[in-house]
Structure 1
């Protein structure tokens, strides 16, 4: 494990540019480009002002599939609204030249429902092969029952077009009283999202309460149970919802962690640098400060190995680099980008 760069302030997400440089977000509201030798640019101009409080701020960033032609990126952030904050999704054109900046910034989507105070914000973005975007939205650690209602996007995964509209084939488009952008619901604080390259399935990972962190395979229209069922307990030790771990009509998780590791950032490994890890799923852990490697069989996790347990830092994001190495972001005041390669 080597340090690519340090002195980032609570870095949240990492995306690789075609030439191997890294686009990095910092939670207080900055975006930088980091060269392959670790030199970080000045903060990019054009980033919207964010609500930077508690867990909230500038969060995920991803490159459009056609970035080489369009230079379009997508990112999400907490936006100030009366009474608190809600998640916003924006796209912009990245000018990654000598003085990098964002141009043509446009907010394309806003979370709908009661505003939050910066807790349980979720917000990861994944672009599907068809170009549509999946976005995770947390329950705000407030009126968690809203996660079961379809008239808001609290505790939801939404599917939107690259310009923020609801695709016509979303599951609740024709359901009275339901918001058409909802793809799945009943999630708590989803901070991991990735498309499994082996089969195109959408995988999500979320924080439970006291125990019960989950990994879910997201189905169209699926109800993932929060706050009716959970493998965890409320923070006061009382049962969650029904006190059950499963219930008919709700989709079971494919993996859960109890006690909680506080997962954040997930990536399927497809590189050649670690051939024995091809097809494995990696998850960063904030609370336990480690990297979780899950072996899959028949599309489901079957075995976990906990790596880097002595790292002494919260792992916020994990990505596979174009060189096949794993890259980690540490969530610290003096945050780092770490590169993980095979031992010699």
Structure 2
């Protein structure tokens, strides 16, 4: 199932306030446990393991609303405030204490067409000693063709506490530039050794086969980049000595990864990516791994029941997903992911949360094993399934452990899940 982004229309941002705190949407929402449906899991056997995170009561609170297609969320460490990107090109700093939001000056000019625009945001691991903020975004060249960009600037506050990004500049462009408005990928996160991981989509290349851009390591499309904090290729990347490959590439064979998170127990990077018709995947990223697209896939061609390619498990030269939604399942078009490590919901610690767009809910997945060979992923009962919300991005508030969610809409809220 594909990611069909809504064209931006709204032009307002409003803080919601209540005399006793934030407005509460739902009291005592509960999760149900249970085993995975084999038809959804893509396996022949169901998982009947007990679910210790079931029946957790939570409230859904609107922190602020009126955002225009919010795409990325990142908390400032030891600060409590939240950076929010909006796809038309705005960057805001949101104070969860009172729902107020102020614009951050210095954001780049973006290509806000189709699925392009201002996309993800990440904070340097040494913030505030190193105050750099990283943005991923689509930007165009002089001909109007676009590419996924990574840029950084130093976050500063003047005497009136108005924030700005000083010296913002592009530090990496995932070439080539193309006329396509689709599949920019564009999640960013810092992993082990303070390496910056960035996903790049295949820009909706439909020339399926071994010469597809995602299988061609001479370009950066359909790949995971691993960069230094300055945007240079990481010196330990797998193809730094290969003259036929880009030295920024860490993994390849991806279609459109729009969710990425680091599992603290192992330090491994996980991704969720869009399939064609269904075929959405959860992957544990391996150094130098080929994730198959489009020569191996669990998806079917749009509008048909015909497989795009053989299954990953039918080829010995690709990395298979640890969880997937096969053709006919309805899919899980993903956007935004986080491993929960907070104190508010101890039953959820170690669980993977991922948003889904067209399916309109927040997914929770229990994870067993260190992986990738022995890892077992089980999808549990969905959260927020009654809201008709396209879930775009997730973040855990460091001090409280509340789970923050941005909704993808032209006039959208940022909400949080708190204990009931």
The answer, yes or no, to whether TM exceeds 0.5 is yes
State whether structure 2 residue 297 is matched by structure 1 residue 256: no
Distance in 2 between the 1:239 and 1:332 partners? 32
Question: What is the match of residue 134 of structure 2?
Answer: 74
Distance in 2 between the 1:114 and 1:228 partners? 23
State whether structure 2 residue 283 is matched by structure 1 residue 222: no
Q: Which of 392, 395, 420 is residue 319 of structure 1 equivalent to?
A: 395
How much does 1:259 deviate? 1.9
Question: What is the match of residue 166 of structure 2?
Answer: 103
State the TM-score, normalizing by the size of structure 1: 0.96
State whether structure 2 residue 368 is matched by structure 1 residue 297: yes
Structure with the greater relative contact order (CA < 8 A, sep ≥ 6): 1 or 2? 2
Say if 1:314 and 1:242 are closer, same or farther in 2 by CA, change over 3 A: closer
State whether structure 2 residue 348 is matched by structure 1 residue 277: yes
TM alignment of 1:163-242, pairs within 5 A? 163-237=230-304, 239-242=306-309
Question: What is the match of residue 54 of structure 1?
Answer: 114
State the TM-score, normalizing by the size of structure 2: 0.79
Task: Kindly indicate whether the alpha-carbon contact (under 8 Å) linking 1:139 and 1:147 is maintained by their aligned counterparts in 2.
Answer: yes
Distance in 1 between the 2:206 and 2:411 partners? 34
Contiguous gaps of at least 5 residues in structure 2? 1-59
Distance in 2 between the 1:130 and 1:248 partners? 30
Distance in 2 between the 1:96 and 1:127 partners? 24
Distance in 2 between the 1:229 and 1:290 partners? 27
Per-residue CA deviations over 1:134-172 (Å, capped at 9, x if unaligned) read 100000112551100010011000111111111222101
How much does 1:272 deviate? 1.4
Q: Which has the larger radius of gyration?
A: 2
Say if 1:240 and 1:133 are closer, same or farther in 2 by CA, change over 3 A: farther
Task: Kindly indicate whether the alpha-carbon contact (under 8 Å) linking 1:227 and 1:240 is maintained by their aligned counterparts in 2.
Answer: no
SS at match of 1:67: coil
Q: Which of 221, 234, 238 is residue 154 of structure 1 equivalent to?
A: 221
Distance in 1 between the 2:299 and 2:337 partners? 21
State whether structure 2 residue 385 is matched by structure 1 residue 309: yes
Distance in 2 between the 1:311 and 1:320 partners? 20
Task: Kindly indicate whether the alpha-carbon contact (under 8 Å) linking 1:212 and 1:259 is maintained by their aligned counterparts in 2.
Answer: no
Task: Kindly indicate whether the alpha-carbon contact (under 8 Å) linking 1:60 and 1:125 is maintained by their aligned counterparts in 2.
Answer: yes
Q: Which of 39, 56, 67 is residue 8 of structure 1 equivalent to?
A: 67
Which stretch shifts more, 334-343 or 232-241? 232-241
Say if 1:290 and 1:44 are closer, same or farther in 2 by CA, change over 3 A: same
Which stretch shifts more, 262-271 or 137-146? 137-146
Task: Kindly indicate whether the alpha-carbon contact (under 8 Å) linking 1:212 and 1:256 is maintained by their aligned counterparts in 2.
Answer: yes
Distance in 2 between the 1:241 and 1:330 partners? 31
Per-residue CA deviations over 1:230-269 (Å, capped at 9, x if unaligned) read 1111113264543434311100000112322211000000
Q: Which runs of 4+ in 1 moved over 4 A?
A: none
State whether structure 2 residue 416 is matched by structure 1 residue 339: yes
How much does 1:298 deviate? 1.0
Give the RMSD, CA atoms, in angstroms.
1.4
Per-residue CA deviations over 1:24-82 (Å, capped at 9, x if unaligned) read 000000000111211111x3221110000111100000110111112111111001123
How much does 1:114 deviate? 4.6
How much does 1:100 deviate? 1.1
Contiguous gaps of at least 5 residues in structure 1? none
Distance in 2 between the 1:66 and 1:90 partners? 17
Question: What is the match of residue 244 of structure 1?
Answer: 311
Distance in 2 between the 1:222 and 1:209 partners? 20
Q: Which of 140, 151, 157 is residue 90 of structure 1 equivalent to?
A: 151
SS at match of 1:261: coil
Paired residues, what number? Answer: 342
How much does 1:113 deviate? 2.2
SS at match of 1:12: strand
Task: Kindly indicate whether the alpha-carbon contact (under 8 Å) linking 2:366 and 2:378 is maintained by their aligned counterparts in 1.
Answer: yes
